Structure 1
Amino acid sequence: MSEVFNQANMLFLLKGIKLTLTIAFISIALSMIFGTVLAILRNFSKGIFGKIATVYIEVFRNTPLLLWILSIRFLVPIPPMYSGILSFTLFTSAVMAEILRGGMNSVNKGQYEAAYSQGFSKIQTLRYIVLPQSFRRCVPTFLSQAVTVIKDTSFLWAVGIEEFTGKGMILMGSFVSSYQVFILFGFLAATYFIINFVISCSVRTIKTSY
């Protein structure tokens, strides 16, 4: 145990946790912004931009995340961390867009008509009436997607990005017994569980408060 959890190893793993959470939270924040734009375009634009948004969402929702991680890591000349953020942002934006679109579609059509009758423009109706309600209704689903993003950052190890799982794999190479490897992997799993369990509890709390 002491050989696995010595100070040097723990500091090494903590750097991995920091990178994992950094990539996950930046990706989620950017995906919320880009996903909102995509959802609005797909729902309300009947022209070329609406069609582009639809194609984008369908392409990313129906292709593997790992494919985009590999493509961006090896084809786009940017630092490793940024390639991870970019791949997750592009992929997760499509998911966030569909979540938010469902929230917007749940708003009663009568509220649109009432807003227009009061002189609100489409943009004002979205900003002050539709989007606030939609975001509130989608918060539990957004948080559930955040859990998925945090877990899926482990895919980045496949392209040499040293996030939490990647750091663990590097340490594994220095161990001489299967017992040490088992302990290490147990620690990785427990850490992911604790982080995501806290978020999942928040989701359940929010759902029961609605």
Structure 2
Amino acid sequence: MRSILTPVNIKFLLNGLGLTLYIAVITIVLSLALGVVLAVMRNSSIKVLNKISVIYIELFRNTPLLLWILAMRFLVRIGAVNSGILALTLFTASIIAEIVRGGLNSIKVGQYEAAYSQGFSEVQVLAHIILPQAIRNMMPSLLSQFVTVIKDTSFLWATGIEELTGRGMILMGSFVTSDQVFMLFIILSLTYFVINFILSSIIRSQQFKFATS
């Protein structure tokens, strides 16, 4: 254990953790924005927008994330980290789009009709009336997906990105015994667990708050 948790190794892994969280946060922000747009497009009465959204969502939801990570890394020349963020964003947006669409569809049709009768435009109805209510319904699912994004960053080590798992793989190459490798896996697992457990606890508290309010 001591041979693994040296100051140099700890700093090395913490830097990887920092990159993991950076990628996750950027991915969450971008995929949330894109997911909302896709959800609105899918609910749109304009058939072209609806079809584009359906094709996008079904394409990404029915193909492996790792495939897109590899494709973006080798087909798009924007750097390893940026290509990883792009792949995660495109993939995650398709899932968030369905979550947001479910939230939008949970609002009764009468609220749309009442807003339109008052002269609100479609954009105004979504921005001021529907989305604020829908967010309440979709928040637990969105937070759960954000936890998944943090775990999904571990796939990026396959393209040489030195996030937490990637740096763990690098350290593994310097160990010679199975006990050291096993302990390293435990350390990586516990790190992911602690971060995601904290976020999951927040999710549960939010779910309880929504259920009692």
> Could you say whether these structures have the same fold, taking a TM-score greater than 0.5 normalized by the shorter chain as the test?
yes
Q: CA deviation at 1:168?
A: 0.4
Q: Distance in 2 between matches of 1:73 and 1:56?
A: 20
- Secondary structure of the residue aligned to 1:44 is coil
| Deviations 1:162-181, CA, capped at 9 Å, x for gaps | 11001001001101211111
Superposed CA RMSD in Å reads 0.8
Moved over 6 A (4+): none
Q: What aligned pairs does 1:58-137 form with structure 2 within 5 A after superposition?
A: 58-137=58-137
TM-score calculated relative to the size of structure 1: 0.98
Give the count of matched residue pairs.
210
Q: Distance in 2 between matches of 1:112 and 1:133?
A: 12
Q: Distance in 1 between matches of 2:31 and 2:201?
A: 22
The code of the aligned residue for 1:37 comes to V
Q: Distance in 2 between matches of 1:75 and 1:45?
A: 34
Q: Distance in 1 between matches of 2:45 and 2:52?
A: 10
Q: Which runs of 5+ in 1 are unaligned?
A: none
Q: Distance in 1 between matches of 2:83 and 2:41?
A: 26
The code of the aligned residue for 1:89 comes to T
Q: CA deviation at 1:47?
A: 2.6
Residue equivalent to 2:189: 189
Q: Distance in 1 between matches of 2:90 and 2:176?
A: 40
Q: CA deviation at 1:2?
A: 1.8
Residue equivalent to 1:146: 146
| Deviations 1:110-132, CA, capped at 9 Å, x for gaps | 10111111111111100101111
Residue equivalent to 1:12: 12
The code of the aligned residue for 1:60 comes to F
- Secondary structure of the residue aligned to 2:119 is coil
Q: CA deviation at 1:45?
A: 3.6
Residue equivalent to 1:27: 27
Q: CA deviation at 1:7?
A: 0.6
Percent of pairs with identical residues: 59
The code of the aligned residue for 1:125 comes to V
TM-score calculated relative to the size of structure 2: 0.96
Q: Which runs of 5+ in 2 are unaligned?
A: none
Q: Distance in 1 between matches of 2:112 and 2:65?
A: 36
Q: Distance in 2 between matches of 1:191 and 1:24?
A: 15
Q: Distance in 1 between matches of 2:7 and 2:187?
A: 15
The code of the aligned residue for 1:30 comes to L
- Secondary structure of the residue aligned to 2:43 is helix
Residue equivalent to 1:57: 57
